[in-house]
Amino acid sequence: MKVTMRAPNPLVVITGPTATGKSDTGVHLAELVGGEIISADSMLVYKGMKIGTAKPSSAEMRGIPHHLIDIVEPDQEYSVALFQKQARAIIADILERNKLPVMVGGTGLYIRAVIDNYDFTSAGGDDRFRENLIRESYNKGPESLHRRLSEVDPQTASNLHPKDSRRVIRALEVYNLTGRPISSYQRAKKDQPLYGLHMFGLTMDRQKLYRRIEQRVDNMLAAGLVDEVRGLLEQGYPRELNSMRGLGYKEIAAYLTGEISLERAVEILKRNTRRFAKRQLTWFRRDSRIEWLDVCRYNNHRAVAKEIIRRLEGVLKGL
C-alpha cells in the first residue's frame, strides 16, 4: 500500500516483553503500509547467533527490509550510542524514500536512545577505567558495581538490572569522565520532538506469556540451540563476551562446560527469561506514551497490525 505521510517524521514503535509476537506484528504492519523494520534488540546485532536470539528467518521477514540485524561479530563491541547514531540515520533514509519506519524490539534503552534526546557525543570513553570495572565485576560480582552506580546516579541504577554489567559499567564510566550522571544526557526538549511518535506495546495475560516463553525455549532446543552455542565456543568466543552472556547462551554454555546438567540449564533459562519479561514490562509501563494492545484479543498478529493501522488513521493518508 502506498502511503503519504501527514505527520512530520512519523515513527512507529512496537515493543513489549519477549515472546509477545512483536516481530510478526511489525512485519505485517510494514507489509500493509509499505514500511521497513529497524530492529531494537541488543542481541540481534550479532552475527552467527540465530537460534538463541529468535532472529527472524528470511521467510519470516516476508521480503520486508530489516535493518540493524547481523551487523557485528560476537566479539565486537556495540554500544547504545552507536545504535542511536545508526538507527537515526536509517530512519531518516526511510522517511526520505516516503516509507514508514517501524522500530521493533524489546531493548528499552535502545528505543529510548532513539526517540528521546539522549546525547552521548561528549561522554567519550576510558579503556583503563572500564577494564578495572570489568575486573571488579568478575572479582566481587556485578552487584557491587550496581551499588556504586546507585550512589552517583540512582535514576539510571533504578532502570538497570544489577547484573546488567555492560550498561552499569558504561554509566559509571560516563560519570567518571564527566562528573555527570548518564541520565543527565537526556535533555528535556519536549517542545521539539524528534519524530511524530506512535508507540504500541504488546502484552498478554502473565501466565499465558510464561507458557509461551517456555514453549519458545523448547522450540529453540529442538532447533539446535545447544549446537549453536557449542559452535560459538569452538570458534573461540569466550563466555565473558557481552554477546555470550545473553539469554540462552550463558545457560547452555554452563552446561557445555560441565558446570550444570542440560535439564538444569533449561530450567534456569526458562526462569531467567520469565524474569527478563517481567523487567521489560516494568520498564515499559513507566512510559505513558505507549498504547497497550492485549494480543490475546486478536485472532493473529496480522489482526494486531490492522488494529495499529486503525489507530494510526489520520497520521498516514490512504490507510
Q: What pLDDT is stored for residue 109 in this prediction?
A: 86
Same domain, 112 and 238: yes
User: Contact 124/34 with Cβ under 8 angstroms?
Assistant: no
pLDDT at 295 over 50: yes
The answer on pLDDT for 191 being more than 50 is no
At which of 161, 185, 209 does a domain end? Answer: 185
| Same domain (yes/no): 172, 281 | no
Confidence of residue 155 (pLDDT cuts 50, 70, 90): confident
**Confidence check: pLDDT of 318 > 50:** no
Sequence-separated (6 or more) residues with CB below 8 Å from residue 217: 248, 266, 269, 270, 273
Separation in Å, CA 179 to CA 142, 151, 183, 297, 301: 22, 13, 12, 48, 46
Same domain? 161 vs 259: no
Q: Give the position of cell 508507540.
A: 199
Residues 6 or more apart whose Cβ sits within 8 Å of residue 307: 293, 298
Place of cell 552521548: 120
* Phi, psi (rounded to 5 degrees) for 49: -125, 85
pLDDT at 166: 79
Q: Are residues 146 and 224 in the same domain?
A: no
Q: What's the domain count of the chain?
A: 2
Do 192 and 173 lie in one domain? The reply is no
**Is there a contact between 197 and 7 (Cβ–Cβ < 8 Å)?**
no
- Judge if 79 and 21 occupy the same domain: yes
SS3 81: helix
User: Among 185, 212, 228, which residue terminates a domain?
Assistant: 185
Q: What's the confidence (pLDDT) of residue 6? A: 56
Q: Are residues 291 and 180 in the same domain?
A: no
- pLDDT tens-digit readout, 59-104: 999 999 999 999 999 999 898 889 999 999 999 999 999 999 999 9
Q: What is the 3-state secondary structure (H, E, C) of 209-272?
A: HHHHHHHHHHHHHHHCHHHHHHHHHHCCCCCCCCHHHCCCHHHHHHHHCCCCCHHHHHHHHHHH
For residue 203, the cross-strand partners are 294
Domain end (from 158, 185, 212) = 185
The larger pLDDT score, comparing residue 40 to residue 194, is at 40
Instruction: Show the domain range for 210.
Output: 4-118+186-317
Q: Examine the domain organization and report whether 251 and 108 are in the same domain.
A: yes
Question: CATH number of the domain that 202 lies in?
Answer: 3.40.50.300
Specify whether 283 is located in the same domain as 206: yes
**Residue at 19: amino acid letter:** A
Given a cut of 90, is residue 141 above it in pLDDT?
no
Phi-psi map region of 240: left, alpha, beta (phi>0 left; psi -120 to 50 alpha): alpha
Report the C-alpha gap between 165 and 125 in whole angstroms: 16
Query: Which grid cell is 59?
Result: 521467510
- Statement to judge: residues 237 and 138 lie in one domain: no
Query: Taking 70 as the threshold, does the pLDDT of residue 189 lie above it?
Result: no
* Pairwise CA distance, residues 15 & 151, whole Å: 30
Claim to verify: residue 69 and residue 176 sit in the same structural domain: no
Instruction: Check whether residue 229 and residue 287 sit in a common domain.
Output: yes
Evaluate if residue 205 carries a pLDDT over 70: yes
* Cβ-Cβ contacts under 8 Å for 215 (sequence gap 6 or more): none
